[in-house]
Chains A and B, each alone.
Chain A
Amino acid sequence: MRLECVVNGEPRDVAGVRESESLLQVLRERMKLPGAKNACEQGECGSCSVFLDGKLVCSCLVLAGQAEGAEIVTIEGLADGDALSPLQEAFIETGAVQCGFCTPGFILAAHDLLQRQPSPSDAEIREALAGNLCRCTGYAKIIEAVRVAADRMTT
């Protein structure tokens, strides 16, 4: 089947998509956007998180055909050209990135939080990131990064 949608502001039109494919597979394999990561494929790890019509979702749990006509934002769409987003900068500065595999999902989940709650408490940060797993950092630096970005974005 054919899939037409808007990804990171650009209209995309992909032919030959199998009906059983997930949005994650289409993003990675057909659109060559490897930012959303393929790990658990069960919605447990959050590493495939993207925005689908403004909502944070696990793209592994979206059937590709369900994204027909939708607007999708992946980690590749967060920076403004070469200028990284405040969250991306904060993740680098605080050492919130180690192996980096979970980072796109964490940054998008944190982005979702800061859009809803510009000055989150630590409890709100933890709650918002509860669907994302990191096996390197122990989370402390990730939470610090979100705090740093929130401070910068609100002052």
Chain B
Amino acid sequence: MELIQPISWEDALAAKAAYPDARAIRGGTDLMIELGAGDRLPATILDLGRVAKLAEWSLDDGHVVLGAGVTFTELIDELSCELPALAMAARTVGSPQIRNRGTVGGNLGTASPAGDAHPPLLATDAQVKLASARGARWIGIGELFAGPKRTTLEPDELIECVRMPRASGSQQFSKIGTRNAMVISVCSFALAIDPSRRRVGTGIGSAGPVPLVAEEAGRFLEGVLTEADAWESGAPLGESAAARFGELVSAAARPIDDVRGTADYRRHALAVLARRALGWARGARDELIG
């Protein structure tokens, strides 16, 4: 096995062009497990850990540009205000040790249907920059996922960064698991209410071959907020609207039965998660949410 350790992003892209089969590593929290379990090693590993620019984030015209190498710990410590749902999701990842190493870019590249960062990125309409020695292109986050653990990246491409609006309203993320740490989600849900764009974003995790958007649920809630003139105010929306929102989120899921839960359970749980997320986003306290 060959290990390539470029310092510059240009060298990293050149290496990926020369070795399209090379597996990229940064935090190692996914790839190292694969190496440990695997019966055969990849011929080449491309270590992106030395490419300093991947660890950077910046603010740009009301947007956050997040380098692919930003860790979950850094998201929690530095971006909880700008990207609340993503930071909430980051808090549910693994353990302190895993959050110190695991990155947003790695979470996307692995493309597990259970990737915790995916629902918030979907809900905030994130764009992903895919770079290669040929140039770079931006795609919507939803176009990145081709299936379980498969992406639409070309063999010579690497994930450079993601870009999404700074939160202008309430965001929430919630996740079902057997304990409050070290769990792969049974299902998860992210909600981003964006009053400045009059937009409601949603993201569903672990309930389909790829992370999903609950489009109808989002449009429904946009209509409710507009009708009640409640985009700016925190006024409660009423139980029937919240219940309907939950039903629509549940209906958008395409879950299967697997070791972590059944499809029926996931559909049920998503309706509850969505209803509660909406309640929290509207400022309700836990005890008021059924």
Please give the residue numbers on chain A whose beta carbons come within 8 Å of chain B beta carbons, in ascending order: 1, 18-20, 22, 41-44, 46, 49, 55-58, 60-63, 65-66, 68, 109, 112, 127-128, 130-132
Contacts and interface: CB of A to CB of B under 8 A. Distances in A.
Contacts of B35: 20, 63
A58 B33 CA distance: 11
A43 B100 CA distance: 12
A63 B3 contact: yes
Contacts of B3: 1, 19, 63, 65
B97 A109 contact: yes
A67 to B, nearest CB: 10
B283 interface: no
Chain B interface: which size bin?
Answer: 20 to 34
A131 B98 contact: yes
Interface of B: 1-3, 5, 25, 27-29, 32-33, 35-36, 41, 45, 47, 49, 73, 94-98, 100-101, 180-182
Nearest to B26: A66
Contacts of B98: 43, 58, 61, 131
B28 A63 contact: yes
A130 B181 contact: yes
Contact of B181 (A66, A112, A131): A131
Given A58-B97, A61-B28, A131 B45 contact: no
A57 B101 contact: yes
Nearest to A112: B96
14 contacts: A42-B36, A43-B94, A43-B98, A49-B97, A55-B73, A57-B100, A62-B28, A63-B3, A63-B28, A66-B49, A130-B95, A130-B182, A131-B94, A131-B96
A108 to B, nearest CB: 9
A20 B41 contact: yes
**Residue of B1, B35, B47, B100 with highest tally of chain A CB at under 10 A:** B100
A63 B45 contact: yes
Nearest to A131: B95
Contact of A65 (B29, B47, B96, B180): B47
A43 B2 contact: no
A19 B2 contact: yes
B1 A19 contact: yes
Contacts of A1: 3
Given A43-B98, A46-B95, A131-B95, A61 B1 contact: no
Nearest to B48: A66
A61 B33 contact: yes
A137 B56 CA distance: 41
A42 B41 CA distance: 16
A128 B33 CA distance: 22
Contacts of A112: 96
Contact of B97 (A22, A56, A66, A127): A56
Contacts of A55: 73, 100-101
B100 A42 contact: no
B46 to A, nearest CB: 11
Contacts of B33: 41-43, 61
B96 A66 contact: no
B247 to A, nearest CB: 34
A61 B35 CA distance: 10
Contacts of A128: 96
Contacts of A58: 29, 97-98, 101
Given A63-B45, A130-B96, 7 more contacts: A43-B32, A44-B182, A46-B95, A46-B97, A56-B97, A57-B97, A61-B27
